[in-house]
Amino acid sequence: MIWYRVYPRLLRVLEKESNKGTSTLIKGELIMKKAMVFPGQGSQVIGMGKELYERYEVVRNIFKEADEATGVSITKLCFEGPDEELRKTENTQPAILTVSVACQRILAEEGILPDLVAGHSLGEYSALVAAGVITFAEAVATVKTRGRLMQEAVPLGQGAMSAILGLERTKIVEICMNTSSDMSPVQAVNFNCPGQVVIAGSTEAVELAGQRLKEAGAKRVVNLPVSAPFHSVLMQPAALKLQNVLDRLNFKDANIPVIVNVDGTVVQKGIFLKELLVRQAASPVLWEDCVQTMEKNGATLFIEAGPGKVLSGFTKKILTGAETVNVEDIASLEKALDYLKGVS
């Protein structure tokens, strides 16, 4: 195959990265480092995973394992809903993780293996499964408990989240710090990509910060339909209880590098990955930093495994010219495999 005729965009990536050692030519073929990324909450939709379930035995096995490990029918929740049940965080989390790992397992059967992994918020658990740190059964049962603990930490209506669009992250952090108080905290909790940061905290403080951010020049402030202020200091009670749950699991060292949400660094030691998962529940998700770290460690191709393609959109805003593919259903899988087998 003459790859530079078939994949002209890859040639531009190669030219850009040639001095970084991130891609290699061997006998005329392009070898690219692949990062696999996994989505978090918000990407759920009724019917997710159903097409893959009907075609692949490995997916049916994953769903069966999820049902058994959680004691509820994750299969029915994913395929039939109802929506109000799927949107409950203790159901959303195991459902998204199940679909994400199912997509990753199909890719593995097809010989598509990542060089690096990372996940956004909940997606970090999917990444740890892909890296061999914890088993799928352990992960899916844990995130169901994680969802329940997060919801219990803050009564409904007392916490909120808003996406801030079109304002520098430093300005958002500054305004949140000046708005926050011990009794009514607010902080930046998701640094998704340039121009998009999510804030969270008490409902009153989030509303006030949103007004001040608009006055400071934010293009839009979008209130998010969530049930709790995830990744804020208000999640600290949940993080403490989550530690007891994680302490019962056997965290192995990762067999591939994991880029973690808390600080955007590369970690492979199981003991540290467990500590960071505890911190992650009540700490900001530095996704922009994670993607930049993956690029610095050689990633030139990003594969999103799981429902939606939100992370692919973030990646393209973080890294100009980034190559991305996603896998969530039969159509996206076939398109991804056609592409990936041409560059692997």
> Residues with catalytic annotation?
121, 231
d(CA 334, CA 260): 29
Closest CA to 204 of 153, 271, 245, 159: 159
Closest CA to 64 of 136, 154, 145, 143: 136
102, 300 in Cβ contact below 8 A?
no
Helices within the chain (DSSP H only): 3-6, 8-17, 50-55, 57-70, 74-80, 83-86, 89-109, 123-130, 136-153, 169-179, 203-215, 236-246, 270-280, 287-296, 310-318, 330-343
Closest CA to 220 of 247, 197, 243: 197
Single-letter residue type at 282: A
CA-based angle 332:38:139, to the nearest 5? 125
Single-letter residue type at 70: T
